[in-house]
Amino acid sequence: MQFHHHGYVSGDPRVLRAAGTGIDRPAELPEEMDVLIVGSGPAGMLLAAQLSMFPSLTTRLVERRAGRLEIGQADGIQARSVETFQAFGFAERIVAEAYWLTAMNFWAPDPQNPSHIVRGQRTKDDPHGISEFKHLIVNQARVLDYFAEYAANGPARVRPDFGWEFVGLEVGTEGEYPVSVTLRRSAGDDEGTERIVRAKYVVGCDGARSRVREAIGRKHIGAHAQHAWGVMDILAETDFPDIRTKCAIQSHEHGSILHIPREGGYLFRMYVDLGEVPEGDNGAVRQTSLEQIVAQANRIMNPYTLEVRDVAWHSVYEVGHRVTDKFDDVPVELTGRQDPRVFIAGDACHTHSAKAGQGMNVSMQDGFNLGWKLAQVLEGRSPASLLSTYSAERQVIAQNLIDFDREWSSMMARKPEEFDSPDALAQFYVDTAEFPAGFMTQYAPSILIGTDEHQALAAGFPIGKRFKSAHAMRIGDANPVHLGHHHRADGRWRIYAFADAPAAGQPSALGEWAEWMATSPDSPVATFTPAGADVDSVFDVKVVYQQTLDGVEFGDVPEIFRPRVGPFAVIDYEKVYAVDADQPDIFDERGIDRGGCLVVVRPDQYVAHILPLTARDELTRFFAGSMLAQQDLAAAS
């Protein structure tokens, strides 16, 4: 964690100094705002946390509930989300309080006595070592708490405005704040009172029954069939031996249970399958009582029994496989010719079963994808057309998720005798582990994702996928670190320059590139960094040498990698890395060419491009596809 460079920080360094709109932020909702977020679920809260880093923007979040979510809803946190929490600075704390999911056991009917279940396969949760981060189980309410803390501690001091319900909106064509939004008080003494506010952009993170989606006329497409589970978070007495291990339990005649141990060591959650909801059910399934759910669980688990002692939360969770036709307000035929003003994220645009544990995770990634783009546009660093990439990128991901989830759900719904082999379900789980862990997302080439001509220079960083961290040695303080864990959710792009290793006396490609990057008026730093801002405020440029610690002298490192930052122009010592002698060599581990290369990483941690160290125009041209030259703007103003 880096701080003190703007002057001594005596308190918690996570509480950043208030700036801009964060100073004397009005408690009342203002008339006009840059971004209005609707809904404080995982999508909305991540977005608020990201935008809290931009104090030049007025960001407000309205939430219908009177206060924080206290209990219930999702609890599965995939490793990609923990990686994201790392960028928001709270991974360590949430890992400490969560349940660590390391294994999943599969139970099925005993072939000798099908009315009894027996343990079949035991599987490791991450058999291929996809991530160094853990797979966690922790309640959604705690995830929201951490994002809320981050948002409140950001320089813009963003806090949810509870007790406001979104009623409707109109997108105008005139003025700086073209979206008029009608809100109604949903809590407090003035409940029922309506207000109209205006925003530049509105993001509907208002869940599966999204009114924002309705207001922009988007269609929620997919099967009407809903699937229902009785969900209960309970303390219980049981003789079931795997009660502290995640299990898929299939009975012969009574359906299945997805069993999930919860944080804290005692509580656990059971999803008891209530099956497909017939058309015309009209919510009857939601009347399933807790007693009925417990009785069904006991039937499925036979010969084991479950005696419930306390129920923390229970619900009937009913959901279908649906994706919205587009995730913004621009009609399909006008895409590319009109810029969006309203977006939808999370369950508002995709819903799926709880079995693959994806809802909260994918929703957070929607927010992460959109947040930095909104900031770049609103700060005048990118054209508004950048915002069209949100729907283009995330809709494909949502569709992939629905397809995966449909396959997984139908596998789990099958009777054991319908499988070719008794281990088929467990094998599917292991083979597809990268998907539910959140690492299969790969964005297609666009203005934000380069083409793959130079992919071979860094085969282990697939373009379009998230930057997979590796061990490195930080030179300044001789600290062994994970390179990617220093990627903060601060809206900056990262450029990792992997050094070449020229023979003594030979020119170094890294040195020449670094000189150009620091001094050329055509470099991305000179072209896209706003006047007066720190040299690393848009591009956080880091170097990784092929030598180990003793082979690199900090004073010899080119200046672009040890910039002077903050009002006191002090050197940043944390951008220079080497191979960690006690760990696998990062060059070998990630397939980095020994001639060196550049790995460009987006603010949301996805690899945007791989280029050789000789790339000059190509690098600037790549950024010019989505950014505005700041000198031109300064000259024009």
When asked if residue 346 is in the footprint of ligand FAD (CB under 6 A), the reply is: yes
8 A C-beta contact, residue 97 and residue 75 = no
Distance CA 460, CA 473 (A): 19
Distance, in Å, from the CA atom of 344 to the CA atom of 366, rounded to the nearest integer, reads 9
- Encoded one letter per residue, x for contact with ligand FAD by CB under 6 A and - for no contact, window 594-633 reads ----------------------------------------
User: Which residues have a Cβ under 8 Å from the Cβ of 570 and sit 6 or more positions away?
Assistant: 5, 564
Q: In what order do the strands lie in the sheet with 306-324?
A: 113-124, 103-110, 246-250, 256-261, 268-277, 220-238, 306-324, 350-351
Q: Which is nearer to ligand FAD, 315 or 427 (CB)?
A: 315
Residues 391, 397: Cα–Cα separation, whole Å = 10
Which residues ranging from 569 to 588 are in contact with ligand FAD (CB under 6 A)? Answer: none
Residue closer to ligand FAD by CB (options 85, 493) is: 85
For ligand FAD, the closer CB: 161 or 589:
161
Minimum distance from CB of 391 to ligand FAD (Å)? 15
Token pair in block for residue 284: 């009857």
- By CB under 6 A, the residues from 302 to 321 that bind ligand FAD are 315, 317
Identify which range of 254-262, 332-340, 353-361, 571-579 contacts ligand FAD by CB under 6 A.
353-361
Find the binder of ligand FAD among 63, 125, 233, 405 (CB under 6 A). Answer: 63
The stretches of 173-285 forming alpha helices (DSSP H) are 211-215
Question: Does 255 sit near ligand FAD (CB under 6 A)?
Answer: no
- State the minimum distance, in angstroms, from the CB of residue 75 to ligand FAD: 7
> Which is nearer to ligand FAD, 74 or 274 (by Cβ)?
74
Of the candidates 285, 287, 295, which has an alpha carbon nearest to the alpha carbon of residue 257?
295
**Minimum Å distance from CB 184 to ligand FAD?**
8
The distance of closest approach from Cβ of residue 305 to ligand FAD in the complex, given in angstroms and rounded to an integer, is 24
Site for ligand FAD contains 146 (CB under 6 A)? no
Residue whose token pair is 């600075």: 89
Q: Which of residues 160-179 bind ligand FAD (CB under 6 A)?
A: 165-166
Nearer CB in complex with ligand FAD: 324/527: 324
> Which residues are within 8 A (CB) of 10 and not within 5 positions of it... i.e. 6 or more apart?
none
Q: How far is the CB of 446 from ligand FAD (least distance, A)?
A: 24
The residue among 44 and 120 lying less far from ligand FAD, judged by its C-beta, is 44
For the CB of residue 62, give the shortest distance to ligand FAD in the complex, in Å: 5
Site string for ligand FAD, 458-487 (x = CB under 6 A): ------------------------------
Q: Are 360 and 416 in contact (CB under 8 A)?
A: no
335: amino acid identity, one letter: T
> What are the structure tokens assigned to 102, written together?
């390391």
User: Under rule CB under 6 A, which residues in 196-215 are in contact with ligand FAD?
Assistant: 205-207, 211
Q: How far is the CB of 92 from ligand FAD (least distance, A)?
A: 23
b/e per residue 265-296 (b: at least 16 CB within 10 A): eebbbbbbbbeebeeeeeeebeebeeeebbeb
The secondary element (H helix, E strand) that includes residue 347 is none
Binding mask 359-378 for ligand FAD (x = CB under 6 A): xx--x---------------
* Shorter beta-carbon distance to ligand FAD: residue 206 or 540: 206
Residue number closest to ligand FAD, CB atom: 346
Kindly write down the DSSP assignment for every residue of 53-112, as one continuous string. T-TTS-EEEEESSSS---S-S--EE-HHHHHHHHHTT-HHHHHHHSEE--EEEEEEEETT
Contact status, residue 350 vs residue 324, Cβ threshold 8 Å: yes
Give how far Cα 381 sits from Cα of 45, 193, 208, 444, Å.
24, 38, 33, 23
Taking the complex as a whole, how short is the minimal distance between the CB of residue 380 and ligand FAD, in angstroms?
29
- To ligand FAD, the closest distance from the beta carbon of 79 in angstroms equals 16
State residue 123 phi and psi, 5-degree precision. Answer: -120, 150
Is position 357 an interface residue for ligand FAD (rule: CB under 6 A)? yes
Residues of this chain, 3-62, that bind ligand FAD according to CB under 6 A: 38-44, 62
CA 633 remoteness from chain centre: 32
Binding of ligand FAD at residue 416 (CB under 6 A)?
A: no
Tokens, residue 438? 């959140």
Strand bridging mode 471-474 / 576-578:
antiparallel
Give the contact letters, 70-109, x = binds to ligand FAD (CB under 6 A), - = no: --xxx-x---------------------------------
Decide: 38 and 44 in contact? Cβ < 8 Å. Answer: yes
| Closest approach of ligand FAD to the CB of residue 39, in Å | 3
- Alpha-carbon distance of 387 to 391, in angstroms, equals 8
Name which of 278, 274, 288 is nearest 224 in CA terms. 278
Contact call for residues 210 and 348 (beta carbons, < 8 A): yes
Q: Which helix (H) or strand (E) holds 292?
A: helix 290-301
In the bound state with ligand FAD, the residue whose beta carbon lies nearer, of 132 and 149, is 149
The smaller minimum CB distance to ligand FAD, of residues 275 and 551, is found at 275
Binding region for ligand FAD (CB under 6 A): 38-44, 62-65, 72-74, 76, 140, 165-166, 205-207, 211, 231, 315, 317, 346-348, 354, 357, 359-360, 363
